[in-house]
């Protein structure tokens, strides 16, 4: 593994950093305060080729590697955690399964619009009673002639209000052993019986579109099944493995932003006649923060490198997601501590970063699930 970024990777980093500084960061406070989804930002990201960054050029993507994509997610998340979450979800959860498991027609119809920015990618897995236990899915898909009829409810689904289609997991029958067979279906959002609402008041990542989906006798052509009907469960576990790399990268971006604010504040804030950054207690906090961020970034890049090299990466993706997410919460918390009373105020923005970071320990597999994945992998 090469720890030095390639010329192409540095170009992606610099481009996204500049875009984030000019287009994303100036809106971050307003987006958080109002909960508004910054649709115009995503249109520009589509124009830049960011929404299809790791997708092959034949489908409207940029053909970049996973390391470049992780770098891009980090830079977007550094500017705004909510924007970073919707970006990561669109690519990792919405576009990737279409690329990995879709047929050519499905890729042309549903993947290309995501890459070009006409649509966002969205993945409907979680249900009110099926979160960590994804196998407990209650949504059903029943074949009726040439169509599947889908009924069920999904919660906390990212981007669905801005997606032309959502990939929905549903029970499609029984396996020989009596367990439910879960398949994935591409469900256009305009269909009769498909209701999308955003009823949530969230702690953080408030600028990300989080929706509830209700499907009542929604009919889709049977050719809208995604991948192997018998392997839907395995397909979405593979999708989540890749998604965990992007959540790790997003956590690193949020943590880096909080660290940078704390470091600058420590240079300016005076107590007892000195900058607080001259006190060893603050220096040690900053040293720990810098070390943990770099460790997490290296872990994210290793998982991404393994994925690019077509090597097993499940364990390393879980390492990266678990460590980076818990690290981000610690770093943001310490950033507030260094800011003191100012850190508790919205004006300094680090309290927003802590609120955004907390979701990284929950979404795309909780910290507890990551430890379970790692335990099984090291078996």
Which two tokens mark 138? 């209650």
Domain boundary among 84, 116, 148: 116
Q: Structural domain of residue 308, as residue ranges?
A: 233-378
In the beta sheet, which residues pair with residue 181? 173
pLDDT of residue 173: 92
Co-location of 133 and 211 in the same domain: yes
Mean pLDDT of 104-130: 96
Residue 301 in domain: yes
Co-location of 369 and 251 in the same domain: yes
Buried b (16+ CB within 10 A) or exposed e, 176-205: eeeebbbbbbbbbbeeeebebeeeeebebb
Co-location of 254 and 320 in the same domain: yes
Residue 2 in domain: no
Grade residue 132 by pLDDT with cuts at 50, 70 and 90. Answer: confident
Which two tokens mark 207? 């600028």
What total number of domains does the chain contain? 3
pLDDT per residue as tens digits for the range 254-278: 999 999 999 999 999 999 999 999 9
Rounded Cα distance, 296 and 301, in Å: 9
Which two tokens mark 222? 């049977």
DSSP-derived 3-state class of residue 109: helix
How far is residue 205 CA from its own chain's centroid? 11
pLDDT of residue 176: 82
Grade residue 2 by pLDDT with cuts at 50, 70 and 90. Answer: low
Co-location of 243 and 369 in the same domain: yes
Residue 210 in domain: yes
Co-location of 110 and 23 in the same domain: yes
Q: Which domain CATH number covers 242? A: 1.20.140.10
Residue 144 has pLDDT above 70, yes or no: yes
Rounded Cα distance, 181 and 173, in Å: 5
Co-location of 168 and 110 in the same domain: no
Co-location of 60 and 152 in the same domain: no
Residue 1 in domain: no
Contact (Cβ atoms closer than 8 angstroms) between residue 41 and residue 52: no
Co-location of 368 and 240 in the same domain: yes
Contact (Cβ atoms closer than 8 angstroms) between residue 193 and residue 218: yes
Short-list 324, 340, 321, CA closest to 256: 324
DSSP 8-state class, residue 278 = G
Mean pLDDT of 237-246: 95
Domain boundary among 92, 116, 140: 116
pLDDT of residue 300: 98
Domain boundary among 97, 116, 135: 116
pLDDT per residue as tens digits for the range 287-313: 999 999 999 999 999 999 999 999 999
Residue 166 in domain: yes
Residue 164 in domain: yes
pLDDT per residue as tens digits for the range 328-351: 999 999 999 999 999 999 999 999
Residue 175 has pLDDT above 90, yes or no: no
Grade residue 177 by pLDDT with cuts at 50, 70 and 90. Answer: confident
As a whole number, the mean pLDDT across the chain is 96
Q: Which domain CATH number covers 173? A: 2.40.110.10
Rounded Cα distance, 369 and 182, in Å: 20
Co-location of 266 and 332 in the same domain: yes
DSSP-derived 3-state class of residue 366: coil
364 is catalytic: yes
pLDDT per residue as tens digits for the range 35-79: 999 999 999 999 999 999 999 999 999 999 999 999 999 999 999
Mean pLDDT of 18-25: 98
Co-location of 295 and 259 in the same domain: yes
Contact (Cβ atoms closer than 8 angstroms) between residue 350 and residue 332: yes
Co-location of 319 and 296 in the same domain: yes
Of 292, 316, 351, 364, the active-site residue reads 364
Residue 367 in domain: yes
Which two tokens mark 41? 């930002």
DSSP 8-state class, residue 1 = -
Residue 1 has pLDDT above 80, yes or no: no
DSSP 8-state class, residue 280 = H
Which two tokens mark 164? 């032309």
Which two tokens mark 71? 């770098």
Residue 135 has pLDDT above 90, yes or no: no
Rounded Cα distance, 296 and 298, in Å: 5
Q: How far is the CA of 375 from the CAs of 315, 319, 368, in angstroms?
A: 9, 11, 11
Residue 12 in domain: yes
pLDDT of residue 178: 81
CA torsion sign for 205, 282, 17, 3 is: negative
Rounded Cα distance, 182 and 140, in Å: 9
Short-list 119, 118, 135, 116, CA closest to 127: 135
Grade residue 134 by pLDDT with cuts at 50, 70 and 90. Answer: confident
DSSP-derived 3-state class of residue 272: coil
Q: Which domain CATH number covers 32? A: 1.10.540.10
Co-location of 257 and 369 in the same domain: yes
**pTM of this prediction?**
0.97
């Amino acid at each position: 593994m090469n720890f030095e970024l390639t010329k192409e990777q540095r170009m992606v980093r610099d481009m996204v950093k500049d875009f984030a500084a000019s287009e994303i960061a100036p809106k971050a406070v307003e987006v958080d305060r109002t909960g508004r989804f910054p649709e115009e930002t995503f249109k520009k990201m589509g124009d830049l080729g960011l929404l299809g960054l790791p997708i092959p050029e034949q489908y409207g993507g940029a053909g970049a590697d996973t390391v470049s994509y992780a770098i891009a997610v980090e830079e977007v998340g550094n500017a705004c955690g909510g924007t970073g979450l919707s970006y990561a979800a669109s690519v990792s959860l919405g576009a990737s399964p279409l690329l990995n498991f879709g047929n050519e027609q499905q890729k042309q119809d549903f993947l290309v619009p995501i890459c070009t920015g006409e649509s966002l990618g969205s993945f409907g897995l979680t249900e009110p009673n099926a979160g960590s236990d994804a196998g407990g899915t209650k949504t059903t898909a029943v074949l009726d002639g040439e169509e599947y009829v889908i009924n069920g409810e999904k919660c906390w689904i990212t981007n669905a209000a801005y997606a032309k289609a959502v990939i929905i997991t549903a029970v499609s029958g029984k396996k020989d052993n009596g367990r439910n067979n879960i398949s994935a279906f591409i469900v256009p959002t305009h269909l009769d019986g498909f209701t999308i609402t955003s009823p949530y008041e969230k702690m953080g990542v408030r600028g990300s579109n989080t929706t509830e989906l209700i499907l009542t006798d929604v009919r889709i052509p049977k050719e809208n099944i995604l991948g192997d009907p018998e392997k839907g469960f395995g397909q979405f576990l593979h999708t989540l493995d890749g998604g965990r790399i992007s959540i790790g990268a997003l956590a690193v971006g949020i943590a880096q932003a909080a660290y940078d604010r704390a470091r600058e504040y420590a240079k300016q804030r005076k107590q007892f006649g000195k900058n607080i950054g001259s006190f060893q207690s603050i220096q040690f906090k900053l040293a720990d923060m810098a070390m943990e961020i770099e460790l997490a970034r290296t872990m994210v890049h290793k998982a991404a490198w393994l994925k690019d090299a077509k090597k097993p990466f499940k364990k390393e993706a879980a390492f990266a997601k678990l460590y980076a997410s818990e690290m981000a919460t610690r770093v943001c918390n310490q950033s507030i501590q260094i800011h003191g009373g100012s850190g508790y105020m919205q004006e300094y923005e680090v309290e927003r970063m802590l609120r955004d970071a907390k979701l990284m320990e929950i979404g795309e597999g909780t910290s507890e699930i990551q430890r379970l994945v790692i335990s099984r992998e090291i078996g």
